Structure 1
């Protein structure tokens, strides 16, 4: 069966021989987009986080055939080596990675999380539903689906806080 996936703004027609192919495997094996990592393959680590139609998902938990016509963004779609996205730059500045395996998923999740925050989505620790403040607890809660085996969490939080602060300054 053929399925058309729009990945990073480009439509790709894939011949899927098994409808059980995960979105993660389609991205990595069929489109050679290896920035999205296979960690646990059970939706527990977040290394495979991508953004589909503006929402972050674990690509290991969904089938490629389910995303016909969806807009999929991977780490390759948010920055290039010569033109890094603000979160990518902040992760480097704040040393928000050690081994780097979780970093693409962390950055994709943080990208979507900042948009969720901008739209006023509450989390489990949001005190004021009218306008969630970006405390360290708020960041940690919103990023809790992404694990880092090297324990770079304080630096990841610092990188996210920096980018969120610059976005808030730009909006003011």
Structure 2
């Protein structure tokens, strides 16, 4: 038998509380980009507008939906893979406003007006991104499950390197870091390949970067 608070059951109170908490989390994360008000939706739902691979998308989502599930289940962009679903393997890596993130750890309602780039937005079969072409050339995959996340992460990583962002193995913080073997391993350590194709992945990234790692 359910307990009742006023005219609401305990279950309804808990659902409403979860929805409120998710909305508050979204507001705290992006105060300059408030989520679109949607008074026609129930408290557990939110309406978010974001740009995905250059196309504006407005979607009604459960406030507990991750960006990963929004991309895969509602926008049918299944190139982004769900691996561990705990932010540990990197298979779900996408670019949000140019920064690489684990999309399984980000709620969709936390990304209003964000620019999201998935593996589908980097290139097409007839016009590959340089990293996609390099992965093919150097056989930087076996089963291929981690490959979209590896490539998206590498795009973000090379941009970080270009902007001079240090890593944990950068020896001199006053000098712009180079793509050494140590830097590459450290910066890509969040992306796991269960097949063990790391040497080929490193060769592909190095060629695309024009570096010497």
1:127 counterpart SS class? coil
Computed over aligned residues only, the root mean square deviation of the Cα atoms, in angstroms, reads 1.2
Q: Gaps (5+ residues) in structure 2? A: 1-45
**Structure 2 residue aligned with 1:5:** 50
1:121 aligns with 2:170: no
Answer 1 or 2: higher relative contact order, Cα 8 Å, separation at least 6.
1
**Structure 2 residue aligned with 1:163:** 208
**Structure 2 residue aligned with 1:140:** 185
Write the distance in 1 (CA, Å) between the matches of 2:80 and 2:118.
7
> Rg: which structure is higher?
2
Q: Which runs of 4+ in 1 moved over 3 A?
A: none
1:30 counterpart (74, 90, 100): 74
**Structure 2 residue aligned with 1:52:** 96
2:101 counterpart SS class? strand
**Structure 2 residue aligned with 1:43:** 87
Give the total of aligned pairs.
166
1:94 aligns with 2:121: no
1:151 counterpart (196, 200, 205): 196
1:77 aligns with 2:91: no
State the TM-score, normalizing by the size of structure 2: 0.76
- 1:63-102 deviation per Cα after TM superposition (whole angstroms, max 9, x unaligned): 0011010111100110001111000000011110000000
